[in-house]
């Protein structure tokens, strides 16, 4: 079809003879060819097939004219064809490259769209995951906030607990260096921290206390915890005792710290010391009571024989003076045994309502008479009376004041104050006690008591004086304990000594005073039974009663006394009075015998006598139906008066 068209064009051009017309048509033909270039440039074979035959025909047609000018036109047409071919080739390359680029761009766009789709899917998934993680994170944040709140609450509770605990808590390292300090008292905490942090226990504590702390640390390092170490620390207001409890706090595999709780057990230690003192006094009291019992029996024989000898000599005989001196010495020995009995188990007080105002002032004035020591008294206006044995309490006041005068050889002052204890809870020693107490404080301005001695001053036979016996304060302690009271001491060298006594109060303004009965004239001779396990005592008693004009019936124990009493009663010669030794080892003594005898004959008059007893019967004889109680040794005058009083 293309060839036919080009054939027609050739025939048309070839048939043109007019050069001008031919040129016009030739130009027209080339215009057609040029207009086809953009269309056919995409396919070079089509372009060649379409244009080259046309161009050859044009060149051939031009060469038909035999003119040089047309030759050059033919050359120009050829060059034009070559240029068009080059142009078409470049255009074709550009088109093909554009097509390839378009295809590549299309592929890239598709890939990009796919990647975008995948990225969108991935972003969506990651967004979901991020939302989930964000939700988890929010939950974790809330959990942490709750945990922090609980931790803050726990720390607050811990701080409140530490402030409420009246103990000191320390954190120390393995070398005993203070790392942290806790205390319930804020001022104390600041003072302790500033003084202790960064210091070691060996630098801050006495050697024995520092050693105990290090022992606690070493034990806690081995066993995780340590308890029971006790340290003694001299503080500004006195010596205090602390009990340590230590636990290990693991920091790393190779290092640890130690939490140490120091509890002030000073009151507990003092109470335990009081109990220990009481036990020591009880043990010594048993020994002292036994000695006093035997010694009193010996003194009874000595005193009785001296008195009998005195009755048998003339008044102007020189032996009377010697016998009188011997009698005085014997009575002084008897007073010594009474001191032993005071803190023995048998020295029970005979209590009655007593006013301390007169008792204390009279005793103190008597002791201080003629000395260079003055005494000031402060008595509460409505001071309660106390339920005490006035003789024993007078002895306590006397011993304490005597010690005070010895502590002030150049003179000084004693202050005695008595007041009611309105609330037992204010006194550590009275917290567990019921009833009311009166407090007596005796303060001197003497040399004071060294700290290494003060814990032993109540021990029996402990003394720092050359002439002292070591019984004075031990007797005071024993007397106060037997009155259900307490005695304490505080002292510092050079600052004097303070004794504090607590005695049970008796709310009564009336003091019962025994009114002695009027003595009757000498009575007729009586039959008196004497029961004692010591033969020499029985013999002395028989001689004493004989001098007084009485008939003595001697028995060795309670069973014999009951049998003899019933026998004499049945024979019509009854016993008028029975004197019984309260304590007879191994057999029936006066306690059991008097009880049985009173059951048989309630009208029997019985006097119990003893140099030692661990029974309250001697102090409370009337509760047992007895007529009297006398302590050995007793002199002839006392015996005579007792017999006349109960037979009158």
Task: Going from the first residue of the chain to its last (648 residues), give the mean pLDDT of each consecutive group of 10, the final group possibly shorter.
Answer: 49 54 61 65 70 71 69 75 77 78 84 85 87 89 89 78 72 84 59 71 83 86 83 74 84 82 80 70 67 74 79 72 78 65 57 86 83 89 87 85 86 92 75 81 87 74 58 80 87 87 72 35 72 86 85 90 90 88 80 86 83 60 74 72 73
**Beta strands 628-631 and 606-610, pairing class:** parallel
Cβ neighbours around 63 below 10 Å, total: 13
Are the beta carbons of 277 and 459 closer than 8 angstroms?
yes
| pLDDT value, residue 546 | 85
Expressed in percent and rounded to 5, the helix, strand and coil fractions of the chain are 55, 20, 25
| pLDDT value, residue 522 | 43
**Beta strands 178-182 and 225-235, pairing class:** unpaired
> What DSSP element (H or E) covers 345?
none
Helices (H), 343-464: 356-368, 390-406
Are the beta carbons of 505 and 516 closer than 8 angstroms?
no
Q: Which position has the token pair 């103190």?
A: 364
Return d(Cα 459, Cα 468) in angstroms, integer.
13
What residues contact residue 268 under an 8 Å CB cut-off, 6+ apart?
A: 241
pTM strictly above 0.75: no
Helix (H/G/I), strand (E/B), else coil: 200: strand
| pLDDT value, residue 190 | 54
| pLDDT value, residue 519 | 31
Q: Which position has the token pair 């005494």?
A: 375
| pLDDT value, residue 464 | 63
Helix (H/G/I), strand (E/B), else coil: 469: coil
């Amino acid at each position: 079809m293309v060839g036919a068209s080009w054939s027609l064009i050739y025939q048309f051009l070839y048939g043109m003879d007019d050069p001008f017309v031919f040129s016009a048509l030739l130009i027209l033909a080339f215009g057609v060819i040029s207009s086809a270039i953009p269309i056919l440039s995409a396919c070079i074979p089509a372009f060649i097939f379409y244009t080259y035959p046309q161009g050859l025909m044009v060149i051939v047609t031009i060469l038909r004219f035999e003119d040089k000018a047309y030759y050059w036109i033919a050359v120009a047409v050829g060059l034009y064809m070559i240029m068009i071919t080059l142009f078409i080739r470049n255009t074709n390359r550009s088109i093909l490259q554009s097509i390839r680029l378009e295809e590549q761009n299309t592929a890239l766009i598709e890939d990009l769209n796919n990647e975008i789709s995948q990225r969108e899917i991935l972003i969506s998934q990651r967004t979901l995951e991020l939302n989930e993680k964000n939700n988890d994170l929010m939950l974790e944040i809330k959990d942490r906030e709750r945990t922090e709140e609980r931790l803050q609450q726990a720390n607050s509770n811990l701080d409140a607990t530490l402030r409420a605990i009246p103990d000191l808590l320390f954190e120390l390292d393995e070398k005993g260096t203070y790392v942290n300090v806790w205390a319930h008292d804020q001022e104390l905490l600041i003072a302790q921290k500033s003084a202790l942090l960064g210091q070691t226990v060996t630098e801050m504590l006495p050697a024995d206390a520092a050693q105990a702390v290090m022992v606690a640390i070493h034990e806690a390092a081995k066993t995780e915890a340590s308890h029971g170490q006790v340290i003694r620390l001299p503080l500004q207001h006195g010596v205090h005792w602390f009990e340590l409890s230590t636990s290990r706090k693991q920091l790393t595999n190779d290092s640890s710290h130690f939490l140490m709780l120091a509890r002030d057990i000073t009151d507990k230690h003092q109470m335990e010391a009081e109990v220990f003192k009481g036990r020591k006094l009880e043990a010594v009291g048993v020994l002292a009571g036994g000695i006093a019992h035997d010694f009193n029996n010996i003194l009874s024989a000595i005193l009785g024989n001296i008195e009998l000898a005195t009755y048998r000599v003339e008044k102007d005989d020189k032996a009377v003076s010697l016998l009188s001196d011997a009698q005085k010495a014997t009575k002084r020995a008897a007073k010594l045994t009474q001191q032993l009995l005071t803190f023995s188990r048998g020295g029970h007080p005979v209590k009655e309502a007593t006013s301390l105002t007169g008792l204390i002032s009279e005793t103190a004035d008597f002791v201080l008479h003629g000395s260079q020591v003055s005494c000031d008294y402060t008595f509460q206006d409505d001071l309660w009376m106390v339920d005490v044995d006035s003789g024993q309490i007078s002895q306590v006041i006397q011993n304490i004041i005597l010690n005070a005068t010895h502590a002030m050889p150049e003179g000084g002052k004693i202050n005695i104050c008595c007041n009611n204890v309105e609330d037992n809870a204010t006194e550590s020693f009275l917290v567990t006690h019921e009833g009311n107490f009166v407090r007596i404080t005796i303060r001197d301005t003497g040399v004071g008591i060294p700290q290494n001695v003060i814990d032993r001053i109540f021990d029996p036979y402990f003394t720092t004086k050359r002439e002292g016996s070591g019984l004075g304060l031990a007797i005071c302690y024993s007397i106060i304990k037997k009155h259900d009271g307490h005695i304490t001491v505080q002292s510092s060298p050079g600052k004097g000594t303070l004794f504090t006594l607590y005695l049970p109060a008796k709310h009564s303004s009336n003091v019962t005073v025994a009114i002695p009965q009027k003595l009757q004239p000498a009575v007729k001779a009586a039959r008196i039974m004497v029961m004692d396990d010591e033969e020499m005592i029985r013999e002395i008693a028989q001689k004493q009663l004989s001098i007084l004009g009485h008939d003595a019936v001697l028995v060795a124990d309670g069973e014999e006394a009951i049998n003899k009493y019933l026998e004499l009663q049945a024979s019509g010669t009854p016993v008028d009075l029975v004197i019984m030794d309260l304590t007879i080892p191994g057999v029936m003594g006066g306690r059991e015998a008097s009880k049985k005898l009173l059951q048989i004959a309630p009208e029997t008059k019985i006097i119990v006598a003893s140099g030692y007893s661990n029974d309250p019967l001697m102090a409370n004889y009337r509760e047992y139906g007895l007529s009297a109680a006398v302590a050995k040794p007793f002199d002839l005058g006392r015996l005579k008066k007792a017999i006349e009083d109960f037979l009158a």
